[in-house]
Amino acid sequence: MNIINVTQADFQQQVIQRSQQQPVLVDFWAPWCGPCRMLTPTLEKLANEFNGRFLLAKLNTDQNPNISMQYGVRGIPNVKLFKNGQVVDEFVGAQPEAMVRQFLQRHVAAAGARPAQPQANQQVPQDADGRFRLAKQYLRQGKGCDAQSLLTNFPAGPLATSAQQLRPLADFLCQVSRGQQISSKTDLDIVYRQAADAIRREPSAALYNLLVILHQEEAAHKQRPQAIMQAIFALLGDADPLVQQYRQQLAAIRI
């Protein structure tokens, strides 16, 4: 089956979990949307043509507003590609077939290609410097669980404190990628997930969303968004203007 319909009830299973095995292309659409009706035949044609190299999942935004809000859908059609539980690319609007095909070819394995397998000779760096640099690379790519494994039981030494500063971000991204609940408040849980989705592509949006959470979260639960923000600061580096801007705003909030 190359094409399915998904809802909020089965989004975790059909999109997040299945994207661990194959790319899942989610088409956020609505019945009243003219450009959606133009784009859908193109997506369905390519899904059948690629024949299992990706799964097309169609989600009606009118019937599933919470999922749409969670993933920052503001205009439709909005097409998002999920891999390993995360959005890795997207486009908005009724794009021509050639553009959609090119979009897919950037992320989907060619016909007959062997699935990527972990390389036995690509071992985790044993030195602290190598582990730290690879962990930061994974975090920039949104691969929280991979970064988490490198930062766990990090060797003692000059980089140990820096590695510990990154751990809240790794834990957060890993938890989101596994579909686990972040906040008991539904509205803040959605903002948390928007922040996680933005870290790889737009760190400023991630920091803004975390600041929103800090303003709205109860006092007992403010430490986590604060720690995640500080981890993003460590990832970006002190020289980044975003760090200077949001560090001042964070300091102004009474935790």
Reference 15, options 109, 117, 86, 104; nearest CA is 86
Dihedral, 175, 177, 183, 189 alpha carbons, nearest 10: 160
Q: How confident is the model at residue 32 (pLDDT cuts 50, 70, 90)?
A: very high
Total-model pTM: 0.60
Dihedral, 193, 79, 25, 43 alpha carbons, nearest 10: 170
**pLDDT one-digit tens code per residue, 133-180:** 999 999 988 888 889 989 988 888 899 999 999 999 999 998 887 777
Instruction: Determine the pLDDT at residue 202.
Output: 85
Looking at 16, 25, 33, 47, which residue is catalytic? Answer: 33
State yes or no: is 33 an active-site residue: yes
State yes or no: is 145 an active-site residue: no
Looking at 24, 25, 36, 57, which residue is catalytic? Answer: 36
Report the distance separating Cα 128 and Cα 92, nearest Å.
Answer: 42
Which sequence spans correspond to the domains of the chain? 3-105, 128-251
The verdict on domain 3-105 having CATH code 3.40.30.10 is yes
**Residue 26 · residue 82 · CB < 8 Å:** yes
